[in-house]
Chain A
Amino acid sequence: MSALELRGLRHRYPSADVPTLDDVALEVASGSMLSVVGPSGSGKTTLLRVTAGLTTPDAGEVLLDGRPVAALPPEDRGLTVMFQQPHLFQHLSVLDNVAFGPRAGGRSRRAARDAARRYLELVHLTDLAARRPARLSGGQQQRVALARALATERSLLLLDEPFSSLDRELRHSMHDLLREVREALRPTVVMVTHDLDEASLADRVAVLVEGRVEQTGPVGDLYARPATLVVARLVGGFNEVAGTVEDGRHRSAWGAVPLSAACAVAGPATLLLRREQLRITGCGSGPGPDVSASPTPGPVVTSGRVVAASRLGARQVVHVQPDGDAGAATPVEVELPVGQQAQPGLRVLVSLVPGSEVWAVPGGRLPPDHSAGRPVRRSVLP
């Protein structure tokens, strides 16, 4: 049985033109973790608030352990929420903050504090039990908030972008802590985030766009097999090529590219090639001929000229303007292996990395504000 099941959830704010949630259906297995990702305004937080009972949906059902809870107030739903801000009770000590849930659940002060100490130990904050929240750092406050949520010992933990206000280092430390907590307590977790790295902490990811669930599955699927163009653009790093799929091949100005066997798309479709799936091989004069002149490692998809280069950490990303019929297209992005680099002006062949899973999504035409063959450079997910 699912620990959480959402059926046909709909919600629209009175002043909004479009629904915040549009027929959302999700299931979360007991003890598992689901990340809900999506751009700002996609309805992620509303989804969590509806689940928690803090916002009333216009339609749909929320079931916890198979039990409809729509009529229950938040305190009776058997779940707890950790918000983006820790919202610690400033008039209580750290220990009493963590003991708040057990006390509200009817335990004696002593029993609640004993329980609180155990959870403070879990988040490595035992030494700060007597402190007031105002005297804690941001990371410590989030740890207290996590301990406080866990101390309720409720079966479902909802996390609303809980680490987004922390710096990178603290965020990673909180990710480690979350892994520890999951290992130790096996709670069912639903985490809303806009960070795909953070989302990968979960067993499964649901992509929410404009109030609709576009795709659910393991986070790797979002990179390898996005269900729609919207998901691909959300993930970022894809080159898009408009064309048609026939007999398992995507045909476009780039020629016929064989698709992955798992790709069941037919008719008008957009070919999606991740920039790290492509390689370039120098084939002409130009400044900085550092690219290996060795034969292409895989099937050539296009030829062209490097028009720009930028860095992505230790790697270089080059922008190749395709020749011929494909030349009208926007440049192709290629992420080079570490140590390899190319300068603008170099003529290159762009080829597929052997063994790459080539994917396409339905819809050969791009939205009016996008030109054919436009590579997706930006991502709303950092």
Chain B
Amino acid sequence: MAPRGAGIGVVTRPGPQRPTALPGRRQAAPAVVLVVAVTGSGLAAVVATSLGLMPLVGRPRLTTDGYTAGSADLLLAVRESLVIATASTVLAAGLGLLVAGVLLGLRPGRGPLRLVAVAVVAVPHVVGAASVGLLLSGAGLLPRLLGISPGDWPELVGGSWPVATVVELAWKESAFVALVVVAATARRHRALTETAAVLGAGPWHRWTRVFVPTAVPALAAASLIVFVYSVGTYEVPWLLGRAHPEPLPVMAYRLFGSIDLAARPAAAAAATTGALVAVLAAVLALVAAPAMRRRAGAVE
């Protein structure tokens, strides 16, 4: 029992406060559970449908017909998706890195310019796709400004190469890449580039030997997200791409909306294949990440 009225005062150093907030994992748990439940059940349903276990017509039967019946088209769709995703990711990463470097080099007080540079993130892809279509099509703004007739203008929209699709995705996602890279490197950027400068490094040397290696982990993470998004995006290639071959999401959507209900397994197979490509990319990135972090000197 504590003594009362003993005239003793004790001053102690405040001990560590009991955490009032839940640890991060517990805090995130409700959202994570919801996302896993929705995505997991959706994915399970799609896989089951692709394997004939959830047919709209007929009896359930384990079969790979959804994958094999239209395998040639499916492979073409995979190739088209990989081309679009790879090209978009490479371009977005390069452009994003460039934008990030410029933004980091801006003097204080250039906040509005920073805002404009990354505001592209907020533009919906449908709006971006429509804008790129109006800009690059044969009768679009760009050929008109350049005074080139539609017949002489290359087929950038809906042509044999998914140029407009890649341009839209790269443009939109480059802002996302820039945002991630700036957020990850801003704290150390000025100090490191100034250090490099006083060690005799010119702008190019500072860019290649300091900024780029420092930005690599953030760039890789952002690029993975861009790649996965580009594999799964539907509206941009649907608006700007050609009819055939079509990328996986467009194929999946077309078959899913088909009046032929027996095409549902093929639609699900296209969706499952897209998910598989994304998962493979993520696994590859996770395998490469530790080495990349070590190389970039990230503190574990």
Q: B-contacting residues of A (Cβ < 8 Å)?
A: 52-54, 73-75, 79-81, 83, 85, 87, 89-92, 100-101, 103-105, 132-134, 148-149, 152, 154, 158
Contact = CB atoms under 8 A, between A and B. Distances in A.
Contacts of B197: 53-54, 73-75
A54 B192 CA distance: 12
18 contacts: A75-B197, A75-B202, A80-B200, A83-B195, A87-B192, A89-B195, A89-B209, A89-B210, A89-B214, A91-B296, A91-B297, A100-B196, A100-B199, A100-B201, A148-B199, A152-B199, A152-B200, A154-B200
A100 B205 CA distance: 10
B21 to A, nearest CB: 29
Interface in B160-206: 188, 191-192, 194-202, 205
Contact of B214 (A79, A91, A133, A134): A91
Contacts of A158: 198
A91 B208 CA distance: 12
Among B197, B198, B214, B298: residue with most chain A CB under 10 A:
B198
Nearest to A74: B197
Interface of B: 188, 191-192, 194-202, 205, 209-210, 213-214, 216, 294-299
* 9 shortest interchain CB distances as A-B pairs: A90-B297, A104-B201, A104-B200, A91-B213, A74-B197, A81-B198, A101-B199, A87-B195, A91-B297
Contact of A87 (B191, B201, B295, B299): B191
Contacts of A80: 198-200
Nearest to B108: A14
Given A87-B192, A89-B213, A100-B201, 5 more contacts: A79-B198, A89-B214, A91-B297, A104-B199, A152-B199
Nearest to B300: A134
Given A89-B192, A91-B213, A104-B205, A75 B299 contact: no
A320 to B, nearest CB: 33
A158 B209 CA distance: 23
Contacts of B198: 52, 54, 74-75, 79-81, 158
Contacts of B195: 81, 83, 87, 89
A71 to B, nearest CB: 15
